[in-house]
Amino acid sequence: MIVVEGLIKHFQDSAVLSGIDLQIQQGEIIVVIGPSGTGKSTLLRCLNFLERPDAGRIRIGNLDVDAARPRKADILALRRATAFVFQNYALFANKTALENIIEGLIVVNRWPKAKAQARGREILERIGLADKADAYPASLSGGQQQRVGIGRAMAAQAEVILFDEPTSSLDPEWVEEVLGLMKQLAEERQTMLVVTHEMAFARDVADRVIFMEGGRIVEQGPPSELFSAPRDPRTRDFLRKVLANQAPLES
Amino acid sequence: MNVLDVDYMLGLVPVLLSYLPLTLEMAGAGMVLALILACLLAVVRVLAIPGLNALTLLFISFFRGTPLLVQLFLFYYGLPQLFSALTEINGITATILGLTLHFSAYMAESIRAAIVGVDRSQTEAALSIGMTNGQLMRRIVLPQATRIAVPTLMNYFIDMIKATSLAFTLGVTELMGATQKEAAGSFLYFEAFITVAVIYWGIVELLAWLQRRLEARFNEAYQR
């Protein structure tokens, strides 16, 4: 279980996160939605300490981190317990698909090379890229690169995978294959926290949808409730704007 | 106009080539030392270490802002006047010292640019899987920075080989100094200097070829 309490983050003088409280059960799939610039990505980045929170507390399993005074070891441990999937894939350009996936196993977890490679090939199989093991990122399509990015996160065997708008940089033709892989992970009950604008994915896959605005969680609930009967006017307003541009969401 | 004395030129080649090792030694030593110093300076600049950063900027500004020949004269003729322990500094040492300091100033900036040039998101990805800063530098940033820096560093090395000819002004008999002596003996100045020019040119072309091969290898990962 993951517990976040009172997470606060400022950039210069403006508050980006003004006290986030959040609990994530093991195996839960949570989708975070909301207008741009409301701290969704910052929340994810704070959980991984890519951004340093100003205050708050993050508990994952036995790990208990005071965000205002983290020790170096805490930060490393937190990063190892949370895997990250980036909007722009962020693959290591000097490494092949297989090497990208097993880099963490070899360098961070200190697995022997043969064992890591065997595990890497299993993951390549699962993400449907078994034939691309030796391909470098530059020769892969956007969709393939993002699947490798997800494969790298899968290899970490983290408590939770944090997805930061994983399909936003993709050409439309590649979006489906990436969402499909994420659905597959969800069916395996991989704990996931997903920031996305893909409302259909949120409706079909999420256990819980969180609507954020102005650095706060405004409303949350199962997708069936949140999408059909949003309580807060801000949620209603946002959904009306977003759904006007997307296929209708009747189930 | 006299006809070019080709026989003299052909005879001169082995004589001059016997001085090539000294030229390459000075350039080689200068390059290794300059690389080490440049890496240190670049790290200071990238991390913006307070105090050291300002000193580094001053160092780079001075050694880029003054001619190499002035620096060599400063080390060879000037320093012994201030420090009597340095009266024994020989021309070769002074040349290596000058080349090291002069070229490290240039190389530091190109190494810094190469480190900064590695896509920032890859740094975040490495940190996100729990790598330490050291692992991040060793496994992700430096290999890619090397690829970016190799072409410019090879250019500096080529420049440095040619710059060793200035050692001749400190009384060192290297390739250029030897040519000058031979020419003064035979009065065949054109033949002597065109011969040494071709020798320098050949070495540089050899290095340029090596550079292209290195780049091709580094770029394998980036072919679409």
Over the stretch B36-47, which tens digit does the pLDDT of each residue have?
999 999 989 988
| H/E stretch holding A15 | strand A14-24
> What mean pLDDT is predicted for residues A110-122?
96
Note the pLDDT of residue B216.
Answer: 87
Strands A208-213 and A29-33: parallel
Residue A10 CA to residue B189 CA, distance in Å, equals: 73
Partner-chain contact B222 A136, CB within 8 Å: yes
A86 touches chain B (CB under 8 A): yes
- The strand pair at A192-195 and A29-33 is best described as parallel
CB atoms inside a 10 Å sphere around CB B13: 13
Q: How many CA atoms lie within 13 A of B176 on its CB side?
A: 15
A251 pLDDT band (50/70/90 cuts)? Answer: very low
Interface test with A, best of B129, B150, B217 (most A CBs within 10 A): B129
The reply to whether A15 touches chain B by the CB within 8 Å rule is no
Give the pLDDT mean for B7-17.
Answer: 92
Across residues B64-70, what is the average pLDDT?
Answer: 96
For the segment B121-131, the average pLDDT, to the nearest whole number, is: 95
Query: Which residues of A, range 128-167, sit inside 8 Å of B by Cβ?
Result: 136, 138-139, 152, 156
Predicted confidence band of residue B84 (pLDDT cuts 50, 70, 90): confident
Pinpoint the alpha helices (H) of B67-224.
68-73, 79-82, 91-117, 120-128, 133-136, 142-163, 175-186, 189-219
What's phi and psi for B218, nearest 5 deg? Answer: -65, -30
Subunit contact B122:A138, Cβ cutoff 8 A: no
Does residue B80 have a pLDDT over 90?
A: no
Identify the pLDDT of residue A247. Answer: 60
Distances (CA, A) of B43 to A50, B115, B142, B150: 22, 9, 11, 17
Number of Cβ within a 10 Å radius of residue A200? 12
Would the pLDDT of A150 be above 50?
yes
Average pLDDT over residues A204-215: 95
For the record, the structure tokens of A168 come out as 């936003």
> For residue B145, what are the contacts with CB-CB under 8 A and spacing of at least 6?
B111, B114, B115, B117, B118
> Distance (Å, rounded) from C-alpha B68 to C-alpha B86?
20
What pLDDT, on a 0 to 100 scale, did the predictor assign at position A53?
Answer: 95
Residue B131: list chain A partners with CB under 8 A.
Answer: 104, 107-108
| Count of helices and strands (H, E) across chain A | 9, 10
